[in-house]
């Protein structure tokens, strides 16, 4: 016989079924006999962990809007928070003491320095530190008439006027003088414009030196401003300024007389050649042949790339030569091609390239502006004829018989156009296709001839 107390109550069948299934699955259910809804029977720990969510109820994910500890009473001046009050669950972290903060700052700086971006920024900062200087080696900067070394001498018995051309030029046979001062091999040598009473030399020892041709034949000035080997140099028309291109990725504009750097040009790529525009009204413009296969046009007044980028070459640009009254120029490259450009037009008007044409590292225009000759890397001197405004490749005419041995050897002309010297280990003199004589100066890698010779033996010889 059953005994007990029975009280009838109304229970929703749907909720009753949900609680039974929740108890069977989750192990807990809401207590129907309790007055509140937050009382459970069964596994109370699990019910608390799941925040009382049943089998058919969504569990709170924590994505609900966070509540703030607000005090919107504006009359409470000290405790008023407004909309900037912190969250209820926000944890306030105290600042570290000065010693710990200093240690943490040093750790962060060390990590930033060792990162790729930090190393790149350090290299860029190091490059921007310029150590530029110039040394005058003459005892007196000016003579008794107040003239500097830029003035052509008139007491040497030689006519140095620009329009003076000798009636006949002869092959140099006697060694006159040896210039010593560089500590490494030389890359380039340029005569002073018009008078040629001075010449400029660029060396692998990062220095540029100016020398006298007549008189004491002494070193005039040394220009220090590059961190790596100087690849090319070029004077403007009157010789007051010159450009220098170096493997440190900088092109610098120098004042010849004072030795000051007037401007710097940098793109992040190595310049292989530089060339002023020969026109008198465009002396602020120059071109640079770059390692990234481009020819850039610069303005020396602003120090920025202006107008155009000539970017049709497929290799390093080696040389730039103006012709046709300086309205056009030709460029040679390691891609074994010659491209003809019009000034300020970035599309090449002509491409000279064939199977028999090798890379031409240097080109020289004749004094009569009728021929352009280039030193080909297949041990030939190739010729290009200037007819009106066109440059034509003379395929059947070439000078052979010498060995360049991989050097970028330049070519020069005698003023009367009878002699054309080419060199490597010896100086070969050519006249209309016939080699007249070979001078043996006893140096390796001779890269400039006719009067002044230079190479990898650190010295310059005057013949």
Residue 442: predicted pLDDT: 35
Integer Cα distance of 190 and 235 in angstroms: 8
Residue 129: predicted pLDDT: 60
Contact 19, 28 (CB under 8 A): no
**Residue 242 contacts by C-beta under 8 Å, 6 or more apart in sequence?**
190, 200, 233, 234, 235, 236, 253, 254, 256
Residue in the block written with tokens 């070979």:
438
**H or E segment to which residue 127 belongs:** helix 116-127
Residue of 397, 430, 424, 388 lying closest to 408 (CA atoms): 424
Residue 255: predicted pLDDT: 94
**H or E segment to which residue 23 belongs:** helix 13-26
Domain residues of the chain, as ranges? 1-56, 132-359, 360-462
Pull the structure tokens for residue 395.
């395929």
Integer Cα distance of 353 and 359 in angstroms: 10
**H or E segment to which residue 21 belongs:** helix 13-26
Give all strands (DSSP E) within 2-73, no chain letters. 28-30, 40-42
CATH class of 132-359: mainly beta
Q: Give the residue ranges of DSSP H helices in 27-97.
A: 44-49
Please tell me the pTM assigned to this model. 0.68
> What is the phi/psi pair of residue 103, to 5°?
-65, -45
Q: What is the pLDDT along the chain (463 residues), one digit of tens a residue?
A: 667 777 777 777 888 888 888 888 888 888 777 565 678 888 888 888 877 777 777 665 555 677 888 888 878 878 888 887 888 877 777 777 888 888 888 988 888 877 777 677 766 666 556 778 899 988 888 877 788 888 888 877 777 776 667 777 777 777 778 888 888 888 888 989 988 889 999 999 999 999 998 888 889 999 998 989 999 999 999 999 999 999 988 999 999 999 999 998 888 899 999 999 999 999 999 999 999 999 999 988 877 766 678 988 999 999 999 998 899 999 999 999 999 999 988 889 999 888 778 889 989 888 888 889 888 888 888 888 888 778 888 877 888 877 776 777 778 777 777 666 655 444 444 444 443 333 333 343 434 444 555 556 566 666 5
Contact 342, 330 (CB under 8 A): no
Own/partner pairs, 405-410, CB within 8 angstroms, 24+ separation: 405/445, 406/377, 407/445, 407/447, 408/318, 408/361, 408/362, 408/375, 408/447, 409/361, 409/362, 409/375, 409/446, 409/447, 410/362, 410/364, 410/375, 410/447, 410/448
Residue 419: predicted pLDDT: 66
């Amino acid at each position: 016989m059953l005994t007990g107390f029975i009280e009838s109550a109304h229970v929703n069948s749907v909720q009753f079924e949900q609680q039974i299934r929740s108890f069977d699955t989750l192990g807990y259910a809401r207590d129907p006999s309790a007055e509140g809804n937050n009382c459970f029977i069964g596994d109370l720990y699990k019910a608390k962990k799941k925040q009382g969510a049943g089998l058919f109820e969504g569990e709170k994910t924590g994505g609900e809007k966070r509540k703030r500890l607000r005090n919107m009473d504006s009359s409470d001046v000290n405790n008023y928070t407004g909309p900037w009050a912190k969250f209820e669950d926000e944890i306030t972290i105290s600042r570290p003491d000065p010693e710990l903060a200093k240690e943490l700052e040093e750790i962060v700086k060390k990590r930033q320095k060792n990162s790729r971006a930090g190393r790149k920024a350090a290299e860029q900062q190091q490059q921007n530190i310029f150590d530029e200087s110039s040394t005058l080696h003459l005892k007196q900067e000016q003579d008794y008439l107040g003239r500097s070394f830029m003035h052509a001498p008139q007491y040497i018995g030689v006519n140095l006027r620009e329009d003076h051309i000798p009636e006949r030029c002869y092959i140099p046979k006697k060694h006159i003088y040896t210039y010593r001062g560089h500590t490494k091999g030389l890359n380039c040598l340029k005569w002073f414009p018009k008078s040629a009473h001075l010449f400029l030399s660029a060396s692998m020892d990062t220095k540029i030196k100016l020398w006298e041709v007549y008189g004491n034949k002494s070193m005039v000035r040394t220009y220090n401003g590059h961190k790596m080997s100087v690849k090319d140099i070029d004077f403007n028309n009157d010789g007051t300024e010159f450009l220098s291109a170096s493997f440190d990725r900088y092109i610098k504009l120098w004042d010849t007389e004072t030795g000051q750097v007037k401007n710097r040009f940098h793109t992040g790529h190595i310049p292989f050649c530089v060339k002023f525009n020969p026109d008198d009204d465009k002396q602020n413009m120059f071109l640079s042949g770059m390692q990234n296969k481009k020819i850039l046009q610069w303005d020396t007044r602003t120090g920025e790339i202006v107008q155009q980028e000539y970017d049709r070459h497929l290799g390093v640009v080696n040389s730039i030569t103006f012709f046709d009254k300086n309205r056009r120029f030709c460029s040679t490259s390691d891609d074994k091609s010659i491209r003809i450009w019009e000034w300020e037009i970035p599309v090449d008007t002509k491409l000279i390239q064939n199977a028999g044409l090798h890379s031409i590292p240097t080109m020289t225009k004749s004094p009569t502006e009728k021929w352009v000759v280039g030193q080909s890397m297949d041990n030939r001197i190739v010729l290009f004829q200037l007819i009106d405004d066109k440059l034509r490749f003379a395929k059947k005419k070439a000078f052979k018989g010498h060995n360049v041995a991989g050097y970028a050897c330049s070519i020069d002309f005698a003023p009367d156009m009878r002699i054309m010297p080419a060199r490597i280990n010896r100086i070969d003199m050519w006249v209309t296709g016939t080699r007249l004589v070979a001078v043996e100066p006893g140096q390796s890698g001779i890269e400039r001839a006719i009067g002044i010779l230079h190479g990898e033996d650190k010295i310059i010889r005057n013949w």
